[in-house]
């Protein structure tokens, strides 16, 4: 199973679950970024307008190290490299309407060597790009899918 997921959310749940090499394309809530020098820092305490950047000492200028709507997600070149190399693409719990992530399944299908699975409460906007769809609650569907992928069953 892929130990290098592309992570869309801004929390650290994948790492807490044991995943390695996670790409945080939308940044991380436990970090700040300086708008002056661009340096990123792990951050677990309060941050105000008066908080100076540990790298350049400028203030104000620290903001959450997350990508807001309209900003370019981080690590896009690496993400597309991984999409082109993957042999299994699973999309879990998305509307399929927000780009660039909504276009990832189309990129995987364009390359043509990955099995694509949608796990979603209902069909997403990109449902036609998936070879396999499992609709219902992810909390109900994912354990069985993981068991299948780990060899305890067969992916259909």
C-alpha dihedral over 55, 60, 66, 68, to 10 degrees? -150
- Find the catalytic residue in 26, 41, 113, 135: 26
Active site residue 26: yes
| Residues taking part in catalysis | 26
């Amino acid at each position: 199973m892929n130990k290098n997921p592309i992570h869309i959310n801004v929390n650290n749940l994948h790492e807490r679950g044991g995943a390695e090499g996670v790409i945080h394309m939308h940044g991380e809530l436990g970090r700040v970024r300086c708008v002056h020098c661009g340096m990123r820092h792990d951050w677990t305490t309060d941050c105000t307008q008066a908080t100076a950047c540990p790298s350049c000492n400028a203030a104000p200028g620290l903001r959450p190290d997350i990508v807001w709507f309209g900003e370019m997600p981080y690590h896009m070149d690496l993400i597309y490299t991984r999409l082109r190399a993957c042999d299994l693409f699973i999309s879990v719990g998305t509307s399929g309407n927000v780009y660039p992530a909504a276009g990832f399944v189309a990129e995987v299908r364009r390359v043509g060597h990955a099995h694509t699975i949608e796990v979603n409460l209902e069909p997403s906007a990109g449902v036609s790009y998936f070879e396999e769809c499992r609709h219902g609650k992810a909390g109900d569907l994912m354990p069985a899918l993981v068991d299948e992928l780990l060899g305890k069953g067969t992916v259909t």
